[in-house]
Structure 1
Amino acid sequence: MIKWHERPVARLCLRLSGAVALWRAWLFVSALYVEVHAHPPRPASLGELGACAAVVTLVLVGNALLFVGPALFRQVEIPRRWHGTSVAEGLQTAAL
């Protein structure tokens, strides 16, 4: 059975959504640039800080989807030594 992220349409959609995320980041950056240079210097407002956080998030997600794409959803084999252990067991052994 083919996994959903290995289908050609899904690959295309993942890459396109990455490009759209980068485009949205560009729009946020251009709006912030205009706002910063239009007014005299002042502390950043909460909305401007939120827009900057949105830019960082959009750039990270956009780059990951555009350049890595479906490989983000590939399963990774876990080493044998990690099978059957839990976080609580690791903490108990570290406390001893």
Structure 2
Amino acid sequence: MPKGYLIAHVRISDAHAYAAYAKAAGDAMKGFSPKVIASSGLYENLEGEAHDRHVIFEFDSFEEAKRFYHSPGYQAARALRAAAATGTFVILEGTS
């Protein structure tokens, strides 16, 4: 079964409030155990909007990534992010 990937590109407007979101999102992930493939390291913005953070999470499947994103725990964290950051979030199915 192909893996599922949650890819997040985030522009932070309030670092303190974003820290609260990051903690809540981390707590919400505990039941899903995604693997962090890449996280806010060195990057070069080649096209499109620039963001402060970039993270790629690997889940067991596309459906598991969706289940996490729509889970009550993550949706509560997402509400905290609304006042702290904007971004683009995508779920992508792996090739194999």
TM-score > 0.5 by shorter chain: no
In which range does the TM-score fall when normalised by the shorter chain?
Answer: under 0.3
More strand, by proportion:
2
Higher helix share: 1
* TM-score of the superposed pair, with normalisation by structure 1: 0.26
* RCO comparison, higher one (Cα < 8 Å, 6+): 2
Higher Rg: 1
